[in-house]
Amino acid sequence: MDRNDLSQHISTQYNEELEDIRSKVMAMGGLVEEQLESAVQALVEMDADTAQRVVESDYKVNAMEVELDEECTMILARRQPAAGDLRLIIAVIKTITDLERIGDEAERVARMAESMAGRAFDKGIMAEMEHMGELVQDMLHRVLDAFARLDVQEAIAVVKKDEKVDIKYDSMLRQTITYMAEDPRMIPLALNMLWAARSLERIGDRCQNIAEYILYLVKGKDVRHTHLDQVLKEMEEERGSR
């Protein structure tokens, strides 16, 4: 085996390592998706068993984060990645932090569902909660898709969708305040519902974070704290100038 073959071999193995990391991020994302889906279901159906399962499975998400974090550190130390590979590793380190926190928020939603299990709540507000849950689940699903396909357009769509979640959250908040004022005995229950809504809203924010890491990964540009309209405009200009 001459030197050329060896470097070819090393490079192939390196590619496999990077591929392995990407597929593990997708697996972690899939698990977090399941956790979120079950948490929303537990909340809407006020079902303690489903809620309990979510709480008990959170350790799996945490374990995957620690494992991926270690793999990324190993690659940084051994492979000394540059350019796009380095951006991938940094994007992964950031993405798994947000995925892990989405898992935590899903666990919070499940804990709220558990504490409200068997109780009845205002049907209109529950319908709003269900819709908010669906919006956030769709955001998470799409941002993971965008990550898998490095799809910038999809990532931008996710960022934009977060506004819908915020609007839904505000509307739900107003209705719940009215509901509490009408029947103060319902305040503790209503607050649990608000905490759950707040967790869903934060999950939307975190999906938005991940979408921004994808833009950074693909475009090599840090778009956090900048106006998305600006990024979109620049991208269109780039396309126009090609």
Binding footprint of a second copy on the chain (CB under 8 A): 59, 62-63, 65-66, 69-70, 73, 76-77, 80, 82-83, 86-87, 90, 93-94, 97, 173, 177, 180-182, 184-185, 187-188, 191, 194, 198, 222, 224-225
d(CA 206, CA 229): 19
How many other CB atoms sit within 10 Å of the CB of residue 181?
A: 11
Phi, psi of 157, deg, nearest 5: -60, -40
CB of 104 to a second copy, least distance (A): 9
CB of 1 to a second copy, least distance (A): 26
Of 73 and 153, CB closest to a second copy:
73
Helix (H) or strand (E) holding 175: helix 152-182
Of 1 and 77, CB closest to a second copy:
77
Angle among Cα 227, 198, 166 to the nearest 5 degrees reads 35
CB of 62 to a second copy, least distance (A): 4
Of 16 and 67, CB closest to a second copy:
67
CB of 159 to a second copy, least distance (A): 16
Question: Which class for 218: exposed (0-12), middle (13-18), buried (19 or more C-beta within 10 A)?
Answer: middle
Of 124 and 236, CB closest to a second copy:
124
d(CA 96, CA 68): 8
